[in-house]
Structure 1
Amino acid sequence: MSQPKITLHWLNASRSHRILWLLEELGLKYDIKLYQRDKRSRAPPELFKVHPLGKSPVVEIEEEDGSKKVLAETGHIVSYLVRKFDTKGQLSGKTEDDKEQIDYFTHYTEGSLQPILVGLFVNDVAKQQTPFGVRFLTSMIVGAINNAYYGKEALLQLQYVDDYLKKQHQKGSKYFVGDSLTVADILMEFPLKTNLFSNPERTSTLLGSDSLESKYPNISEWCKFITKEPGLLRANGAIQEKSKL
């Protein structure tokens, strides 16, 4: 039985790159359609033709009989792909405890960690895009909001994750769950590596905190390690090749 036709609608600087990485890890054939954000960091209107919310990632599945489905939301897409194609349990955990922990991180990254980071980044963009005459006032308001909530909550989340990874390292594991790459690592890459540790100086300023790398050494170590994963490198290469066309 052949696999269905899979099309990933990939948007730069978005959560869609994790889906591409997952497709690589599962050894699936796929097509990519690339989209670029505009000058205000908004997704292009073409994505509304794929899904009513105009967001990415979106995955289209076309079966042999011609039936089609459109999958949206990162957690939903990941759950579908793993359930249908990870038949050997390569990425979904070796034990029941591992499976439960992976499911937890699937929800944690989208439900707890990412919304806080989005709030921080939206506030930062608001300061940059505000007219010069009121920028100082906007910065004061945004700073107060971040100090009262987003900043404190982000630091709490990062300390929680760093403590968790420290325990994993003490067990001899470099991964989030078990002793090999799982969906948990793939999902946590975007908020930790792409959003935060790819530019630690900017993030430290944004959070009003000391150096991220010294304050959260276990996350820093994980980010450096996970960047070298072969599947992620293949995903990076796939985008580079597609961008040349």
Structure 2
Amino acid sequence: MSETKDKIVLHWLQHSRATRILWLLEELKLPYEIKVYKRDSQYRAPQELKKIHPLGRSPLVEIIPEGTSKPVVLAETGYIIQYLLDHYNPSGELVPSSPENRELVKYYLNYTEGTLQSLLVSLLVNSKAKSSAPFGFGFLMNKLVGGINQAYYLPELLSNLSFLDAQLAKQSGGYFAGDRLSAADIILSFPLYENTFANPERASQTLGQSINLVEKFPHIHKWSEKIKDEPGYIKAGKILESKL
């Protein structure tokens, strides 16, 4: 357990990307509290989260430094991870030893949410648009959204998956930055493992076509097999199961 006496609170939203922060807190052996929020009937975050941060999104982390009462509120996954590594990681856990791989971690903290996740979100939104089209407009909406996906989002996503598979091929240890787990693997776990390789059926729906992910992206597949067996990842999942 870390020696810090700061109070750390993770605001975790059901079916969100916040699980990665819980996993990170476990890896860093930090004391923390977790507050769980459930989505409403429209799959939106509850208004209570806006009391923590004006945008009302998750993950959110509140840190109340020892001796103060005013919380530091952290939003955005990549920023939260970097902040926790900078302030609560004196032993250098989850940070590679080589300068090159340390820079890689910083890159992936920005790339994952800025590039990769935006493609997945766009495809998800387009999928919802197809299913929620007004009566009589379903065919037109399918043609419109399908054309946009085929022209841009799907080729871009496949290009990014190929890029990541090639990046892993360069790493002899099977992780994204060096030969052991780093913050890069934690942030990439949501889009790559949970949203894709752990759920082939959903991946096929997202991609709009049947693709053998194991054959097409073998290095990501091997990495995914490592991720699902990581003790910290497993523990985070069990903690959330007990909260829901």
User: Scaled by the length of structure 1, what TM-score is found?
Assistant: 0.93
CA drift of 1:204 comes to 2.2
Find the counterpart in structure 2 of residue 229 from structure 1: 230
Q: Aligned partners of 1:27 and 1:9: how far apart in 2?
A: 18
Deviations 1:26-82 (A, max 9, x none): 001111111122233221211111110010000000122123211111111111100
SS of 1:133's partner is: coil
CA contact (8 A) 2:109 2:184 kept: yes
Q: Aligned partners of 1:136 and 1:212: how far apart in 2?
A: 29
CA drift of 1:133 comes to 2.3
The equivalent position to 1:7 in structure 2, one of 1, 6, 9, is 9
CA drift of 1:109 comes to 0.5
The equivalent position to 1:127 in structure 2, one of 125, 130, 134, is 130
Letter of the 2:28 partner, please give it: L
Q: Aligned partners of 2:127 and 2:225: how far apart in 1?
A: 26
Which protein has the bigger helix share? 1
Match runs of 1:13-28 below 5 Å: 13-28=15-30
Q: Aligned partners of 2:155 and 2:47: how far apart in 1?
A: 35
CA contact (8 A) 1:204 1:211 kept: no
SS of 1:32's partner is: strand
Q: Aligned partners of 2:39 and 2:128: how far apart in 1?
A: 14
CA contact (8 A) 2:11 2:34 kept: yes
Q: Aligned partners of 1:205 and 1:234: how far apart in 2?
A: 29
Q: Aligned partners of 1:130 and 1:3: how far apart in 2?
A: 52
Q: Aligned partners of 1:190 and 1:55: how far apart in 2?
A: 16
Assess, with a 3 A threshold, how the Cα gap between structure 1 residues 218 and 58 changes in structure 2: closer, same or farther.
same
Deviations 1:207-241 (A, max 9, x none): 13422222112111211210110011111111112
Letter of the 2:143 partner, please give it: M
Residue 90 (structure 1) aligned with residue 104 (structure 2)? no
Residue 182 (structure 1) aligned with residue 182 (structure 2)? yes
SS of 1:179's partner is: coil
Letter of the 2:242 partner, please give it: E
Letter of the 1:215 partner, please give it: K
CA contact (8 A) 1:5 1:61 kept: yes
Across the two proteins, how many residue pairs are aligned to each other? 240
Q: Aligned partners of 2:206 and 2:239: how far apart in 1?
A: 32
SS of 2:114's partner is: helix
Q: Aligned partners of 1:205 and 1:63: how far apart in 2?
A: 45
Q: Aligned partners of 2:145 and 2:238: how far apart in 1?
A: 38
Q: Aligned partners of 1:2 and 1:149: how far apart in 2?
A: 47
User: Scaled by the length of structure 2, what TM-score is found?
Assistant: 0.94
- List alignment gaps of at least 5 residues for structure 2: none
Deviations 1:99-141 (A, max 9, x none): 1111111111111111111101111111122234222211111
Find the counterpart in structure 2 of residue 202 from structure 1: 202
CA contact (8 A) 1:175 1:185 kept: yes
Cα RMSD after superposing both structures: 1.4
The equivalent position to 1:52 in structure 2, one of 45, 51, 54, is 54
